């Protein structure tokens, strides 16, 4: 009898399993993906998501720098070239190192790794099937962390050759001359950036008329301008009617503003969102069910409607992000161990790892206006940051939003160099319920790009030093 069986070894599941074991709970983690008869640990994030995409973003960024930026610094490099198989090999080695690392962590923490597909039969029973053999396991608690998979659309069926999903787009062995992408979401922008930097002519077809509607609206506008400048060619309000694979390319037919268009691409990436992995996950008798979009309904503590069955990560509501998944994992097993841990969902940061990065935490001006709340804002452009100028990265700005009366920070939004790390400082400040004044009175090292956060916080109360404090 286990105390906890975790289903899935992505950032939700593996973190939950390790923490559960640290808390003295007898824990097993079941994973269905395999390699050489062993579980392939790490889920989407480590194998086909966060890590490989960031490896390619970093390689392609260095190449683009060599092509376009080095000369500004007086560095001469003649005709830089990129070796795609070597770049892919580097990415694969990083993935192997990290996924192997989880296996070592499981061993060090006494987490039992079980290979197979788990099915929940009841509140205390999990069946695990591998190569036709089924084993029945008994447990006091079940944590579902089965993650998500790409959504496919009937008009552009993925064939894993020239019409691919995000996984295929991490594995091209040559730079496609022309690349179409359906969806200007996070994957479309990150993977579009990778291939555009390497030389692809990229066209993105987005259904919505709004670009990045979840971000601060001024940031979305600047980002759209900058990415079009970088060659992403983002088309909004497009209805894709068909994508047909031919021998040589993919022909895409779409409508935009009442007109019909046809484009041919060497490769097409379908990046229109992800869906939860809940198919065949539980038997009827388990008492579990899913909502109309396939997610497992849970409360703020990730409890399902069946006592002692919990669900975390991409398989439940909320943003599909690795850090949100991991924090839910920790909260759940702490609660199983009797500790009253809660998670502050309002402080989950979001980052788009393009160059420059886009990042935010908390509420934006539209959220607050829609809720009828009074707020004040302060912004600071990187064009006025000494360090940003010294680095040659002065696009974008930082915005701090605070409660009009209490001055408590309600949101931090950034587009520019190290935006992810700058917003992370905002997350820490918000976690400690800091005011804009608190952040303004905090000492920031000079010269750093983080000083833009300091100045934006000071600008909230018209105390910025390096820009005019014009009332917005």
Q: Which residues are annotated as a binding site for FAD?
A: 54, 314, 320-323
Residue 417 three-state SS = coil
Q: Using CB under 6 A, which of the segments 42-50, 100-108, 152-160, 171-179 binds ligand FAD?
A: 42-50
By rule CB under 6 A, what count of residues binds ligand FAD?
Answer: 35
And the tokens for 42? 């790490």
Closest by CA to 357, choosing from 271, 401, 423, is: 423
Tokens of 226: 């900058």
234, 204 contact by CB (below 8 A): yes
Question: Which of residues 49, 185, 192, 362 is near ligand FAD by CB under 6 A?
Answer: 49
* CA–CA dist 13, 390 (Å, integer): 42
* 73, 446, 454, 466: the active-site residue: 446
Are 336 and 167 spatial neighbours (Cβ–Cβ below 8 Å)?
A: no
Q: Indicate if 68 belongs to the active site.
A: no
State the Cα–Cα distance between residues 335 and 144, nearest whole angstrom.
15
Q: Which residue is nearest to ligand NAD (CB)?
A: 185
Q: Is 286 in the site for ligand FAD (CB under 6 A)?
A: no
Per CB under 6 A, 44 contacts ligand FAD:
yes
Pick between residue 103 and residue 220 the one whose CB is nearest to ligand NAD.
220
Q: Is 10 in the site for ligand FAD (CB under 6 A)?
A: yes
3-state secondary structure at position 86: helix
Q: Which residues contact 316 (CB under 8 A, 6 or more apart)?
A: 276, 295, 296, 297, 298, 302, 328
Q: Which of residues 215-274 bind ligand NAD (CB under 6 A)?
A: 240, 271-274
Q: Report, in Å, the least distance between residue 328 CB and ligand NAD.
A: 14
Q: How far apart are CA 398 and CA 403, in angstroms?
A: 17
CB of residue 102 to ligand FAD, shortest distance in Å: 11
Among 11, 183, 192, 356, binds ligand FAD (CB under 6 A): 11
Q: Is 30 in the site for ligand FAD (CB under 6 A)?
A: yes
Tell me how far CA of residue 361 lies from CA of 213, 411, 423, 424, in angstroms.
14, 6, 7, 8
The label of the residue with tokens 């950032």 reads 11
Footprint on this chain of ligand FAD (rule: CB under 6 A)? 7-13, 30-33, 43-45, 49-50, 53, 117-118, 145-148, 166, 187, 277, 281, 313-314, 320-323, 325, 353
Q: Which residues are catalytic?
A: 446
Footprint on this chain of ligand NAD (rule: CB under 6 A)? 153, 182-188, 190, 205-208, 240, 271-274, 319-321, 351-353
């Amino acid at each position: 009898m286990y105390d906890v069986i975790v289903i899935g070894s992505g950032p939700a599941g593996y973190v939950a399993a390790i923490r559960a074991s640290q808390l003295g709970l007898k824990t097993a983690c079941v994973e269905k993906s395999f390699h050489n008869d062993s579980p392939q640990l790490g889920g989407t994030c480590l194998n086909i998501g966060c890590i490989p995409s960031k490896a390619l973003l970093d390689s392609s960024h260095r190449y683009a720098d060599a092509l376009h930026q080095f000369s500004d610094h007086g560095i001469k490099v003649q005709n830089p070239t990129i070796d795609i198989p070597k770049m892919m090999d580097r990415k694969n080695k990083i993935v192997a190192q990290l996924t192997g690392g989880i296996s070592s962590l499981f061993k060090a923490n006494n987490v039992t790794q079980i290979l197979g597909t788990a099915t929940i039969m009841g509140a205390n029973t999990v069946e695990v099937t591998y190569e036709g053999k089924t084993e029945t396991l008994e447990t006091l608690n079940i944590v579902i962390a089965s993650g998500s998979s790409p959504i496919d659309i009937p008009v552009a069926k993925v064939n894993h050759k020239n019409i691919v999903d995000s996984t295929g787009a991490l594995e091209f062995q040559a730079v496609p001359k022309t690349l179409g992408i359906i969806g200007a979401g996070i994957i479309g922008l990150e993977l579009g950036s990778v291939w555009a930097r390497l030389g692809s002519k990229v066209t993105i077809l987005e259904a919505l008329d709004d670009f990045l509607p979840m971000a601060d609206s001024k940031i979305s506008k600047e980002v759209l301008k900058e990415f079009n400048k970088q060659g992403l060619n983002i088309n909004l309000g497009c209805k894709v009617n068909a994508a047909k694979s031919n021998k040589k390319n993919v022909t895409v037919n779409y409508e935009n503003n009442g007109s019909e268009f046809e484009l041919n691409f060497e490769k097409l990436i379908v990046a229109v969102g992800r869906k939860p992995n809940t198919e065949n996950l539980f038997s009827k008798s388990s008492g579990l069910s899913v909502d109309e979009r396939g997610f497992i309904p849970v409360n703020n503590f990730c409890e399902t409607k069946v006592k002692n069955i919990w669900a975390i990560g991409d398989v439940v509501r909320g943003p599909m992000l690795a850090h949100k998944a991991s924090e839910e994992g920790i909260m759940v097993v702490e609660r199983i161990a009797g500790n009253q841990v809660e998670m502050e969902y309002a402080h989950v940061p979001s980052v788009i790892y393009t160059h420059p990065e886009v990042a935010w935490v908390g509420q934006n001006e539209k959220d607050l206006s829609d809720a009828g709340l009074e707020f004040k804002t302060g912004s600071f452009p990187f064009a006025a940051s000494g360090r940003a100028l010294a680095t040659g990265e002065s696009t974008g700005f930082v915005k701090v939003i605070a409660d009009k009366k209490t001055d408590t920070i309600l949101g931090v939004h950034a587009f520019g160099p190290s935006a992810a790390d700058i917003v992370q400082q905002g997350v820490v400040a918000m976690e400690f319920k800091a005011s804009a004044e608190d952040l303004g009175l905090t000492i920031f090292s000079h010269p750093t790009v983080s000083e833009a956060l300091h100045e934006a916080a000071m600008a909230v109360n018209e105390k910025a030093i390096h820009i005019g404090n014009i009332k917005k």
